[in-house]
Amino acid sequence: MATFFGEVVVAPSRAGLDEEEEAREETPEDREIRREIEKKRYQRRGRLRLDIRSGGCAEEPLVCSRFIVAIGRNAAAFLSSFILDSVCWEVVGVVKLWNEWCRTSSATNVLPTDSFCLFYRLISDPTVLLCQCSCYVAEDQQFQWLEKVFGSMQKKGLQVTILSTCPVADYKTQESTLTLVSPFLKALKTKEFQEQVCCPLLEQPNIVRDLPAA
């Protein structure tokens, strides 16, 4: 239970559960299509793998002090335009995904595509990592994505910053969204984050969804 609004808390996941969907009868054709999709996704998800050149033992947790993740095309484009547009960063890792909306090709050239999550390391400080995740991560793939990424990093002293966007029309406020100056920035933080935030906190009843929330 959150001690204040805006705190990020861990809650049981009900991803994929929908009573209306469960109550609806499936035809034999629907069941066959669903089985084939699940089978294909299961086979492809087995390839979801984080490869980062750490320079040390592959089995040791990656030493990381700051990890910045840009989720969505707008956030990824922001990183490209204002942070990565210099020679201070190098590509050190990649995660490939496959689902109904995001299909990884067999190409070996690592480029920012809709099927890749790219990882960058700051050359002057190798403990600072960035991740561009412009591809769609399905609900039943989010835990595996988090497990792969954060399972390879040390947890002690790690500060994680998530950048994501949503339409202004989805922002809940008493004033008209037509009069809002956009884009604007709001923040959520955990109780462990003791530093001063760089922007106002997100007001009730706005929430964060999908992979940023996970």
127: domain CATH number? 3.40.50.10900
* Host H or E run for residue 36: helix 28-45
How do residues 86-106 score in pLDDT, each as one tens digit? 778 988 887 776 665 555 544
Check if the beta carbon of residue 129 is closer than 8 Å to that of residue 67. Answer: yes
Q: Is 35 domain-assigned?
A: no
Residue with tokens 């492809």: 44
For residue 47 the two structure tokens come to: 């390839």
CA distance 161 to 61: 19
Q: Is 78 domain-assigned?
A: yes
CA distance 130 to 164: 14
pLDDT for res 163: 93
Residues spanned by the domain of 46: 42-52+60-167
CA distance 135 to 142: 12
Report how many domains make up the chain.
1
Report CA 191 to chain centroid distance, whole Å.
Answer: 21
Position with higher pLDDT, 158 vs 30: 158
In the predicted structure, residue 110 carries a pLDDT above the cut 80? no
